[in-house]
Amino acid sequence: MKHAIDVGPFNELADPRVVARLAARAEERGWDGFFVWDHIVYSAPVRAVADPWVTLAAVACATSRVLIGPMVTPLSRRRVHKVARETVTLDLLSSGRLVFGVGLGSTRHGELEQFGEVTEARERARLLDDGLDALARYWAGEFEPAPVQRPRPPVWVAGVWPNRPPVRRALRWDGLFPIDLPGPGALAELAAEVREARPDGGPFDLITELPPGTDLEPWEQAGLTWAVTYFEPQPTEAEVRAVIDAGPGATSRR
pLDDT tens digits, one per residue of 99-115: 999 999 888 898 999 99
Confidence grade of residue 133 (pLDDT, cut at 50, 70, 90): very high
What average pLDDT score do residues 4-13 get?
98
List beta partners, residue 229: 5, 210
Q: Is the pLDDT of residue 194 over 80?
A: yes
What average pLDDT score do residues 204-213 get?
97
pLDDT at residue number 254: 30
What average pLDDT score do residues 38-57 get?
96
Q: Is the pLDDT of residue 37 over 80?
A: yes
What average pLDDT score do residues 153-173 get?
97
Q: For the chain, give the mean pLDDT.
A: 95
Weakest mean pLDDT among 33-37, 42-46, 136-140, 200-204 = 200-204
What average pLDDT score do residues 136-157 get?
97
Domain with 77, as residue range(s), is 2-251
Give the tens place of pLDDT for each residue, 210-239: 999 999 999 999 999 999 999 999 999 999
What average pLDDT score do residues 185-203 get?
94
pLDDT at residue number 16: 98
Between 6 and 106, the higher pLDDT residue: 6
What average pLDDT score do residues 233-254 get?
83
Give the tens place of pLDDT for each residue, 115-127: 999 999 999 999 9
pLDDT at residue number 106: 87
pLDDT at residue number 249: 67
Confidence grade of residue 168 (pLDDT, cut at 50, 70, 90): very high
Domain count, the chain: 1
Residue 19: which CATH number? 3.20.20.30
pLDDT at residue number 201: 82
Confidence grade of residue 253 (pLDDT, cut at 50, 70, 90): very low
